[in-house]
Amino acid sequence: MPLFSIPSPYGIGTMGSAAREFVDFLCSAGQKYWQMLPVCPISYGDSPYQSFSSFAGNPYYVDLEILIRNGLLTKKEADAADFGDDPDKVDYGKLYENRLGLLKKAAERGIPRDREALDAFIRDKAWLPDYALFMALKQNFDMRPWTEWPDEDIRYHQPEACARWRESLSEDVEAFEYIQYLFYQQWKDLKAYANDTGISIIGDIPIYIALDSAEVWAEPHWFQLDKNSIPREVAGVPPDLFSDDGQLWGNPLYDWDAMKEDGFGWWIRRIAGSAELFDVIRIDHFRGFESYFAVPYGDKTARRGHWVKGPGITLVDTLKDNFPDLDFIAEDLGYSTPEVRKLLADSGFPGMRLLQCAFDVQKLEAFLPHNYISNCICYTGTHDNHTLEGWLEIADEEELSEAKRYFGLNEEEGFTRGVIRGGMSSVAGLFVAQMQDWLGLGDEARINAPGIPEGNWTWRMRPGAATEELAEEILSITRLYGRTTK
């Protein structure tokens, strides 16, 4: 359940009372985990996998009602802002136009009051000064990518230029720092509430970060860029189930040799930041640690890409050694090889199995429940898949026939509930269903359609949809298959 899908007021899900009500719902339903998408700031395309920072929190998730209660905004100010009027979809355009102004107003009032706590927060977050300056500069330069900023010295992060611009844009820099202070304060409270209720949070970290991000701007030496800060090759995946042209993500690739020589310090800092937010970390595109797909910069599709060896078990062992008490999930989907499977086995991390893909024409037999091992996570589907009801509408007859025969599906139980039962009854150590599947929603509630750049990441759950009756139903089947202590 993405945080943006929580039915909070003011246009998008936030870390306020509605998120706590969802935690209460999960607890009543006998669940142990809430898995969500990345919570970092979004950039062009609204994707949480293309962010201005892999350390910062998304300002949109700062709850306005909490700010009102804390005297940083008035209800009149919040109600006057236009965040869109569609209860089923996030309107990112309206949020972009109107949210930051309100948060800056809260910052003007809060900075003098919270000066001591803010200064302590800034000292604790080594990434924050660069991020806040980066965002202030982007705002100053009409949100252009940093590679197009007219001041060459600041474009290349020269210390004297950074000091000069930090002073020149001091009010905006401080506002962006304070907004992060608000985000982390609210997140800490929400996570503590979830943990105290018995719910752990599974977070997601994208393997790659955006070229137009504070980290690439401030530390370009960790990435495969030329002397003009242009990527030599970019990230993607080859043609697959989702696209005949592959997926051209466009992210800069890591300079793994430089990172290895440094002891993977950048990755250690990144995981440490994520460990502040999440109880379990899902590593997106885990197979990229074994080999990554490199596409020539400037290509319009991923067809001409090629595989290059990644850091492999050396990086995995480094992360395990530095975070022995942190649990990881390896998103091992996509093009697999014996080498990828060996890396997964050697890591000890649980991989992912998708029920939707078990009956595909490619015969991904590892996704059939009778082939599971306990050290894996079973999903109905991910944010990149159809909902189960959406899959029912588009899957070919042979696929559906196999699924119905395999799970013993029937009209009385219903297609979606039958597939969920099949996952619940598997030996997978954890079973995760999309909230849309529990609600029986079709593809109008799909989160993302890979390869289609617009209209994604917008679904919002209707207020009142997570009913007591639904919680009781989920609890019943969860108890039936021994997946809860309730």
List active site positions. 284, 331, 384
Q: Is 83 exposed, middle or buried (0-12, 13-18, 19+ CB in 10 A)?
A: buried
CA–CA separation, 372 vs 353, rounded Å?
8
Type of residue found at 194: A
Quick check: 473 and 104 in contact, CB under 8 A?
Answer: no
* Maximum pairwise Cα distance, the chain: 70
The Cβ-side half-sphere exposure at 475, using a 13 Å CA radius, reads 16
Type of residue found at 32: K
Encoding tokens for residue 372?
Answer: 């599971």
Encoding tokens for residue 264?
Answer: 């993977």
Please name which of 477, 372, 486 lies closest in space to residue 433, comparing C-alpha atoms.
477
For residues 328-351, b (16+ Cβ closer than 10 Å) or e, as one string? bbbbbbbeeeeebeebbeebebbb
Quick check: 457 and 47 in contact, CB under 8 A?
Answer: yes
Q: Is 450 exposed, middle or buried (0-12, 13-18, 19+ CB in 10 A)?
A: middle
Q: Is 192 exposed, middle or buried (0-12, 13-18, 19+ CB in 10 A)?
A: exposed
